[in-house]
Structure 1
Amino acid sequence: MVPDPSPGSDGPGGPVPPAIGAERLGWLDALRGIAAIVVALHHGCYNYLPQFRHEILQWLDPGSVGVLLFFLVSGYIIPASLERTGSLRRFWISRLFRIYPLLIAVLTATLLLGVTGLSPLRQGLGESSEPLGAVLAHLTMMQDLLAVPSALNVLWTLSYEMVFYLLVVALFALGRLDRHSAGIATALAVAALGLGAVLPTAVLSSRLGVTTVAVTTALVMTAAIALACSSRAWIARTGALLGGALAVVLVLANARIEAWEGLALLGVMFAGTAIHRAERGQISARAAAVAVAAVLTAAIGGGLWNLTVYAPGQTEAVLKRSWVIGIAVTALLFAAGMALRHRRTPRRLTRLGMISFSVYLVHPVLLTISDLTIGRPRTDAPLLLVPYLLAVLIVSHLTYRCVEAPLQRLGRRLARRTAPVRPPVLPAAGRGEDGKDTSGPSEREKPGSPPGGDRATRITR
């Protein structure tokens, strides 16, 4: 998934106790760090522990746990990032400067490995029959919704993160973000169960062509973000709604995965938002609990109803069992994080959360280089996993220091210069029922990270 605002960033428009700050919300950094390492180790097992990986997947898919955990964290904190300033312009500047520098760096490294002949290019980057469509799909981060294979196996999650951004911005513009997250999560869960199995996949790209849809998406998305950054309220609202409409159309009519799964993933993110609202007293705990239960039911029920074997050696029973257990483990991890949220988070875990976006994007490139140098052992070689993990942490620290952090600082400076703290985009956003401003105090931002994982089950193929 993409980088999220740090737990140090203050939350949504709602009553905020004065004690809330980076220390209290450091548990989110810890969860991101854990999720990133789980994903990196999950992929490392492909190379170095194939037998162990096979045994683990009989019961649990670690990749799906990392993905779902990242999505929950994103849902919990992303709307808070927007409402903290009330500025769509600041939000989009922050998002773009957090995501694209490292994304472009790793895509460049992948492309160089391919054009030099050291590693075969995945179809999504350089061997597509429609290269323009493939490039534009990756530049918009919407490739998983444009029928384009991801150049790196972890990039598919960025598509759903971007959809979430577009939907959150649209809901903010409509004044429906602050107190309606539980209803939205529940509606997505119902849609996943009721419509997900019958909606088509990639219907637009198959009928109109990948390039046509990718070009149209790039143009509409660029226009939507540009308009949303306007200082004129009606123009900003128009851009926000245009982006939201684009997201809805692509999820319902052009996703590469089944619609039930995409809707369930979005439901997970909005469930995270509902939990955050309930914690801040903006909605009732009962409403949040109903939303969470609905999303869990949709995710589990959708998997049990729709998951089928798609790779040699799999059985449907094992696939569904690992999916259900993965959802349960994700819920338990997030619940444990919340239960410990008032305690001081170990510094190493918060640091790991800080570099988790780098861990997420860098480790597939390092695995490619490992394939080119030492190859893959035929049997388990656990000693190779240690230098791999060290290399991931060291390189991720360097990419964070040299790529992520400098560009994020630049983005923050640009946002402060070009965007007021609370532009007249949506007067109602971040206000209580009596119309009074209920936004909490802003706090220092720290970088965050995205969800990651390929999909060893349906969600990690």
Structure 2
Amino acid sequence: MKASRTETVTDKPLAKPIERLVWLDAARLGAMGLVALQHIITICDREPPKVLLGLDPGQIGVAIFFAISGLLAAQGQQGHAVRWLSKRLSRIYLPYWIAVTGVLSANYIVQYKPAPLSLVIAELAGVVGWTHRGDIVGVYFWFVSLLLFCYLLAAVVKLDRRVLPLLVVASIVWLWWDEGFAANTLAFLTGLSLGQLGKRPSPLLTVGVALAAAVLTFTVHPGFACVTIAGIAILSTAIPFSLPEHTEAVIAKLSELSYHFYLVHVPFYLAADKLFPNALLPVFLLGTTGAVIGAAVLYVMETYLRKGLASLYPSRRTVESV
């Protein structure tokens, strides 16, 4: 009689880990800081300053986010668009669903804004930035709608790189209809285009793109400023020195949590402003503390949710042979 044996077989070889660039992680953290600063300033009823090329801190931070996302989206093999996109959607949607459910529930309790069923469905689908832009519960969730759109563009490029120039041209034309979304899409496509040359694009080429975009900002359309910001952010890949391994690990983990922080930070700053109306320092200290705790809780909830889903849909299959 043959003994029964069980062996675990993977569907495919384990992918080689993608090299992390600590200065990209640091740039993402800086971008989150700029966005948070912008929201603190506006929540406290102040006028945000124009920092560079007519952009305020929040606009600069968002452009950096999209540029880095585009650069990283360019990595990996061509042709695996569906697999790549499914992973990106998983990373975006799971924490987003947890956060948006909390925001919608709180809104239902306090009746802060009307939320018809169509709005709720659009928020959960992540398309509310396109369908209900003026009525979003959690206005800052527009970012997720545009990020999903940009990842869809990246998936198309992974199928056929020849469409990339067409997408760039279309986004430039789009500037005259929807500057905010188009400019950040251009920042994403800048990262995606430079990323075709590798994770460390030529610094000389990157500087050239940034300078050309700065000229176009003043001569053609102010939306090109986001391309300049994208180039500056991507130049961080050319920084020639590293940090101690432990420090890099901490920065990488904090960078990973920046998305979770983004998803929860505004409600905490709004709550802090209710306690200390228009007081910048107390709102910053109390709101940031709450947002950090909220981001950590969101991360833990996402982790357990992923573990639960993994147990229901294991990535490994058991093969029985007799």
Residues 40 and 283 in structure 2, CA contact (< 8 A), matched pair in contact too: no
Output the CA distance in 1 between the equivalents of 2:276 and 2:206. Answer: 48
Choose between structure 1 and 2: higher helix proportion: 2
Q: Who is 1:269 aligned against? A: 188
Q: Who is 2:152 aligned against? A: 166
Output the CA distance in 2 between the equivalents of 1:327 and 1:172. Answer: 21
- Within 5 Å, give how 1:292-441 maps onto structure 2: 296=214, 301=219, 303-304=221-222, 331-335=231-235, 337-340=236-239, 342-344=241-243, 346-347=247-248, 348-372=250-274, 374-377=275-278, 380-400=279-299, 402-408=300-306, 416-417=315-316
Report how far residue 115 of structure 1 moved: 2.0
Match for 1:332: what amino acid?
Answer: I
Over 3 Å counting, the alpha-carbon distance change for 1:137 and 1:55 in structure 2 is: closer
Higher relative contact order (CA 8 A, sep 6+): 1
Report how far residue 98 of structure 1 moved: 1.3
Output the CA distance in 2 between the equivalents of 1:150 and 1:300. Answer: 32
Output the CA distance in 2 between the equivalents of 1:295 and 1:189. Answer: 14
Match for 1:78: what amino acid?
Answer: A
Match of 2:130 among 145, 155, 158: 145
Residues 358 and 399 in structure 1, CA contact (< 8 A), matched pair in contact too: yes
Output the CA distance in 2 between the equivalents of 1:288 and 1:415. Answer: 42
Match for 1:276: what amino acid?
Answer: G
Report how far residue 72 of structure 1 moved: 0.2
- Single out whichever of 345-354 and 152-161 deviates more from structure 2: 345-354
1:157 equivalenced with 2:143 (yes/no): yes
Match of 1:96 among 89, 94, 100: 89
Structure 1 gap segments, 5+ residues each: 1-7, 11-20, 198-257, 307-322, 419-461
Report how far residue 404 of structure 1 moved: 2.9
Residues 73 and 272 in structure 1, CA contact (< 8 A), matched pair in contact too: yes
Report how far residue 120 of structure 1 moved: 0.6
Output the CA distance in 2 between the equivalents of 1:71 and 1:341. Answer: 23
Over 3 Å counting, the alpha-carbon distance change for 1:140 and 1:297 in structure 2 is: farther
Match for 1:277: what amino acid?
Answer: Q
Over 3 Å counting, the alpha-carbon distance change for 1:384 and 1:370 in structure 2 is: closer
Structure 2 gap segments, 5+ residues each: 1-15, 318-322
Residues 189 and 295 in structure 1, CA contact (< 8 A), matched pair in contact too: no
RMSD of Structure 2 on Structure 1 (CA): 3.6
Q: Who is 2:169 aligned against? A: 187
Q: Who is 2:101 aligned against? A: 108
Q: Who is 1:29 aligned against? A: 25
Output the CA distance in 2 between the equivalents of 1:383 and 1:274. Answer: 42
TM-score, normalised relative to structure 1: 0.54
Match for 2:264: what amino acid?
Answer: V
Q: Deviations over 1:73-127 (max 9, x none)?
A: 111012325x38x53443243223212222122222222222222x512x5xx1x
Output the CA distance in 2 between the equivalents of 1:110 and 1:384. Answer: 19
Report how far residue 265 of structure 1 moved: 2.2
1:74 equivalenced with 2:69 (yes/no): yes
Match for 2:251: what amino acid?
Answer: L
SS in 2 for 1:133: helix
Over 3 Å counting, the alpha-carbon distance change for 1:385 and 1:105 in structure 2 is: same
Report how far residue 62 of structure 1 moved: 0.7
Between Structure 1 and Structure 2, how many residues are aligned?
Answer: 295
Q: Deviations over 1:164-213 (max 9, x none)?
A: 1222222323x226xx64x3565246534xxx43xxxxxxxxxxxxxxxx
Between the aligned residues of both structures, percent identity stands at: 20
SS in 2 for 1:151: coil
